[in-house]
């Protein structure tokens, strides 16, 4: 990876919707670590804004809440260049035109960054609230480590 490559980590979610906020929580943790040439941003998860935000980035990592029916706290990893986003996996992003749709629309329009990995953390509850459920909270450290490991590898993102 060239030294001037633009590396972006996006935490998506809504902080007033319980586990939907987990992407934001991970982004805030990463930001505290001062990751040098890595830009960390928080996003509502609205798809077209996301597409705009990763314009010009070479490597993108997205962290979002997932809702696939798996056990709460389960971490899903998707290499977006290699596979499609399973329908419904990230539907609990804040908006209907959300992370999954943005990635697929970008694929159709040739606007995907050269490397993109998505971490989806299975949520338990998405009703109003400002606290993560226990299982999701317990996955935060793991996801932060996974993102850091990902950033250290020069291998496909």
Which stretches of the chain bind other proteins, using CB under 8 A?
A: 14-17, 42-49, 51-52, 88, 91-92, 94-97, 101, 104-105, 108-109, 126-129
Cβ proximity to other proteins, 27 vs 146, nearer residue = 27
Give the shortest CB-62-to-other proteins separation in angstroms: 15
Closer Cβ to other proteins, 4 or 128, answer by number:
128
Cβ distance to other proteins smaller for residue 6 or 111 = 111
Nearest approach in angstroms of CB 63 to other proteins is: 16
14/150 with CB nearer other proteins: 14
Q: What residues contact 134, with CB distance under 8 A and at least 6 apart?
A: none
Quickly list DSSP for 113-141. -SEEEEEEEE-S--SSBSS--HHHHHHHH
Other residues' Cβ atoms within 10 Å of the Cβ of residue 15: 16
Smallest separation, CB 82 to other proteins (Å):
18
Nearest-angstrom CA–CA distance, 60 and 42: 13
> What is d(CA 50, CA 3) in angstroms, rounded to the nearest whole number?
24
Tell me how far, at minimum, the Cβ of 95 lies from other proteins, in Å: 6
d(CA 7, CA 12): 16
């Amino acid at each position: 990876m060239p030294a001037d490559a633009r590396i972006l980590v996006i935490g998506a979610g809504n902080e007033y919707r319980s586990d939907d906020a987990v992407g934001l929580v991970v982004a805030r943790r990463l930001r505290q670590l001062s990751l040098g040439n890595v830009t960390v941003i928080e996003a509502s998860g609205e798809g077209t804004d996301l597409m705009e935000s990763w314009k010009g980035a070479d490597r993108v990592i997205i962290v979002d809440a997932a809702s696939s029916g798996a056990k709460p706290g389960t971490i899903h990893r998707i290499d977006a260049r290699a596979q499609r986003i399973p329908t419904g996996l990230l539907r609990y992003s804040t908006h209907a035109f959300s992370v999954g749709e943005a990635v697929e629309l970008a694929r159709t329009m040739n606007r995907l960054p050269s490397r993109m990995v998505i971490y989806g953390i299975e949520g338990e509850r998405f009703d109003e609230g400002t606290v993560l459920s226990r299982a999701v909270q317990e996955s935060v450290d793991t996801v932060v480590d996974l993102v850091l490991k990902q950033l250290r590898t020069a291998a496909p993102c």
